[in-house]
Amino acid sequence: MVTNGEHLAAKFFDRGDVFDPDCPTRLILDRIGDKWTVLALLLLSKGPLRFTELRDGIGRVAPKVLTQTLRRLERDGLISREVFAEVPPRVVYTLTPMGESLITPIRAVSDWAEEHVPAISAAQNSYDLDNA
Amino acid sequence: MVTNGEHLAAKFFDRGDVFDPDCPTRLILDRIGDKWTVLALLLLSKGPLRFTELRDGIGRVAPKVLTQTLRRLERDGLISREVFAEVPPRVVYTLTPMGESLITPIRAVSDWAEEHVPAISAAQNSYDLDNA
DNA sequence: CGCCGACAGTAACCATTGGTAACTGGCTAC
DNA sequence: GTAGCCAGTTACCAATGGTTACTGTCGGCG
């Protein structure tokens, strides 16, 4: 009988351990799911960019938050950060090969999202009507 | 010359508007990126589940938070919620066709995450060493 | 008869995080 | 000499996520 999580996970997915609460995969999924991470990576997928280019390309992101996002991505080895000792300062962000390998999956998700905007809006409207 | 976000977006991506800050696509991406959403959807991809089955399958998720997640998914039309007037109560969650269409993209992402756990851990360690 | 437990959640509360507005520092162009 | 550029940082606040405890209904057990 399947009554607990371990059984469920074992039954349905033995190819990985996303469903183990102590698995680091969760942390990575969280990172990828981050609000700005996906946007930043997609922007960088076409070539290196500077801080302000990313900032403007994303739009309405506070510099502090963008810095956090980029630092995390750098720490995870998905982007590299190159500082030029010039004035005004220049910092260029580039996807690493690992970062590039993530582009295909996340583009699939973002494409899906774009495609389904109307359907989801419709679903939300009818849900809100029913629960008025 | 490409110096601002509008130009960047126009140059690189004319197939969508993820890069328009006012685009609803962002909201959807946020939803998909939610910590528990992906786990819940992947669990449901193998068949309908009850509340506690989801709860146990995910592990360490507070009921309140799971409820929020499931309500949002229901509102977005990705899952359906069926209540049986029994005692003890029974509530079954099922993927809608639209929900099913999201499985392939998010599985791609979660597969990527599982594959790259070691590489990312390594990157983090060396980053932390360099910035000790 | 009275109590316990199962299920699917709420309610009240607290901690962490995300986000905003304002400021830094070095240099250069006006 | 002062205003502005870039790439941030600091101090602060609101919102969100998370934890613990509780609810309601009924069947089964003692």
Q: Map A63-111 to HEC letters.
A: HHHHHHHHHHHHHCCCEEEEEECCCCCEEEEEECHHHHHHHHHHHHHHH
Per-residue model confidence (pLDDT) at position A21:
72
Which H or E run includes B57?
Answer: helix B51-58
Greater model confidence, A56 or B17: A56
Q: Give the A:B interface size as CB pairs under 8 Å.
A: 190
**Residue B21 clears pLDDT 90, i.e. is over it:** no
> Cβ separation of A117 and B25 shorter than 8 Å?
yes
Q: What is the pLDDT of residue B16?
A: 52
Question: How large is the average pLDDT for residues B60-87?
Answer: 94
Band of pLDDT at residue B4, cut at 50, 70 and 90: very low
Query: A106 vs B102: CB contact, 8 Å cut-off?
Result: no
How high is the pLDDT of residue B82? 96
Q: What is the pLDDT of residue A38?
A: 93
B65 Cβ nearer than 7 Å to chain D strand: yes
Distance from CA of A1 to the nearest CA of B (A): 12
B60 or A22, which is more confident: B60
Q: Report the C-alpha gap between B132 and B12 in whole angstroms.
A: 38
Flag if A57 and B8 touch (Cβ within 8 Å). yes
Structure tokens at A28: 């990575």
Nearest residue, CB atoms, A24 vs list B42, B105, B117: B117
Whether the Cβ atoms of residue B7 and residue A96 lie closer than 8 Å to each other: no
Distance A10 CA to D14 C1' (A): 41
Terminal-to-terminal C-alpha distance of chain A: 40
Protein residue closest via CA to C1' of C5: B88
The residue among B22, B34, B36, B38 with the most chain A CBs within 10 A of its CB, best to mutate, is B38
User: Please, what is the angle between helix A97-115 and helix B97-115, to 10°?
Assistant: 170
Q: Which of B1, B8, B15, B106 is the best mutation test for A, with the most CBs of A within 10 A?
A: B8
Do A77 and B119 make contact, defined as CB atoms within 8 angstroms?
Answer: yes
pLDDT-based confidence at residue B73 (cuts at 50, 70, 90):
very high
* Interatomic CA–C1' length for residue A84 and nucleotide C25, angstroms: 16
Q: What is the mean pLDDT of chain B?
A: 85
Percent of residues, chain A, with pLDDT higher than 90: 64
pTM, to two decimals: 0.87
pLDDT bracket for residue B22 (50, 70, 90): confident
At A16, is the pLDDT very low, low, confident or very high (cuts 50, 70, 90)? low
* Interval A61-85: pLDDT, tens: 999 999 999 999 999 999 999 999 8
Angle value at C-alpha A110, between A37 and A73, nearest 5 degrees = 15
Say if residue A49's pLDDT is above 50: yes
Q: Looking at chain A, which residue has its C-alpha nearest residue B120?
A: A76
pLDDT digits (tens, 9 = 90+) for A89-118: 999 999 999 999 999 999 999 999 999 999
Among the listed ranges A17-31, A75-89, A97-111, B40-54, which one has the minimum average pLDDT value?
A17-31
Measured between CA atoms, how close is A114 to chain B, in angstroms? 6
Is strand D in 7 Å reach of the CB of B59?
A: no
- A30: tokens are 């969280």
Average pLDDT over residues B89-95: 96
pLDDT averaged over every residue in chain A: 85
